[in-house]
Amino acid sequence: MKAALNNIIEALEEARRSSKKRNFEQTFELIVAYEGLNLRDPANRINEVLALPHSIKGREAKICVFAEGDLALKAKEAKADLVLGKADIQKCQADRKFAKKLAKTYDFFLAQVDLMPLIGRTLGPLLGPRGKMPTPVPPTMDLTGMLNRFRNSIRIRIRNNPVVQCPVGVESMSNEEVAENIKAVLDFLKEKVKHPAKISRAYVKLTMGPPVKLDVR
């Protein structure tokens, strides 16, 4: 599976031309469909975090950190979007509306290691199916660096259907930046999805625009 940057840029130019101007900034979406991918095999169900070469401007990932004490202070200093402690986690068990909003609002969750069992009991049923179970944070971790990586990351998932759909850029980004993000996703998938599965089709599109075929042979 190879996709030259020039071919990707041509597809992005076509996606821009074929989409009407909207009163909001549209997102470039990548859609990759597979054939011959056995989803009964758990190894073929992907739920991975990928750091992109270029952050998606205005769409940086929102991150919630579950922590107490010193780690909570570090999370606030690192400008996490939300920092919740043990009492807040326990609140999720009683207030399911709050818990559902939390699961929907934040893209990634990080957690102090010793809070993981409590999070599993209270939020596991909501975060698990979304592929958003928290990443454990050791006490010595460089939290600022970790948050920065997650802010520039997207989640790549293959679960019930052999299709990957993910954001790769926005209209204000250059075609070169978006193309490099797309290539990063395609290269990542090449490593993760093994023979005999192969791509049957791949497209790039703007939010309200028609799909434009990508040549990934």
Q: Which fold does the domain 63-151 belong to in CATH?
A: Rossmann fold (3.40.50)
Query: Could you give the CA distance from residue 164 to residue 176 in angstroms, rounded to a whole number?
Result: 22
Is the model's pLDDT at 98 over the cut of 70? yes
Segment 19-25 shows an average pLDDT of 92
Residues of CATH 3.40.50.790 domain(s) within the chain?
Answer: 63-151
29 is written with which tokens? Answer: 């979406």
The predicted-structure confidence for 3-19, as pLDDT tens digits, reads as follows 688 999 999 999 999 99
Which candidate, 188, 199, 196, places its Cα nearest to that of 47? Answer: 188
The predicted-structure confidence for 40-97, as pLDDT tens digits, reads as follows 888 888 999 999 999 997 888 999 999 999 999 999 999 999 999 999 999 998 899 9
Q: Which fold does the domain 5-58+152-213 belong to in CATH?
A: Ribulose 1,5 Bisphosphate Carboxylase/Oxygenase (3.30.190)
Distances (CA, A) of 213 to 5, 59, 216: 14, 24, 9
The predicted-structure confidence for 154-198, as pLDDT tens digits, reads as follows 999 998 899 999 999 999 999 999 999 999 999 999 998 988 889
194 is written with which tokens? Answer: 């093994």
Amino acid at 51: A
Mean pLDDT of the chain: 93
Residues of CATH 3.30.190.20 domain(s) within the chain?
Answer: 5-58+152-213
What is the model's pLDDT at position 217?
67
